[in-house]
Amino acid sequence: MLKKTIEQAFNEQMNKELASAYIYAAMAADFAVKNYNGFSRWMTAQAREEMAHAQKFYEFLLERGGRPLYDTLEKPQKSWDSVRAAFEHALRHEQFITKSIDELVNLARKEDDKAAEIFLQWFVTEQVEEEDSVETVLAKFELAGEDKRGLYLLDKELGSRE
Ligand code: OFO
């Protein structure tokens, strides 16, 4: 039986994953209206991944006899000063999510919930990848530069994300 503390914390995380999707979808829309279709495509893929993350929590809650509860999501920022500023925001957000997952692992240990702890291992690994993929894009800004030509090349490259 799922403890209430775990049920509540997992629901909070499910909503944080949905909020991540919302932020990245807003970034995708901002890029699209500015004609950065490659960056937009990359962020749309990112938003979809976040929906899949939320779904994992949803399914775990149901399988353990819990109740998934959808909460109000904060209105995301509408536009960013630059593409780089948006990716810097994404990195800060992923660092926040990593901290949140780490806290969930600590809670699962405290509550001696082995299934929750094992379930969270996937997210611990995933967060390493999440931070790394945004850091990689930021490093490319350093290489390509942020003038129009650099942005054009990066937009093209990121647009190839499946
Ligand atoms: Fe769900 O990993 Fe990003 O937020």
Q: Is 7 in the pocket of ligand 1 (CB under 6 A)?
A: no
CATH superfamily ID and name for 4-70+79-158: Ferritin, core subunit, four-helix bundle (1.20.1260.10)
Burial class (CB in 10 A: 0-12, 13-18, 19+), 141: middle
pLDDT digit string, tens, across residues 40-95: 999 999 999 999 999 999 999 999 999 999 999 999 999 999 999 999 999 999 99
21 alpha carbon to ligand 1 midpoint, in Å? 8
- Report the percentage of the chain scoring pLDDT > 70: 100
20 alpha carbon to ligand 1 midpoint, in Å? 6
Average pLDDT, the chain: 96
CB 90 within 8 A of CB 24: yes
- For residue 57, what pLDDT is reported? 98
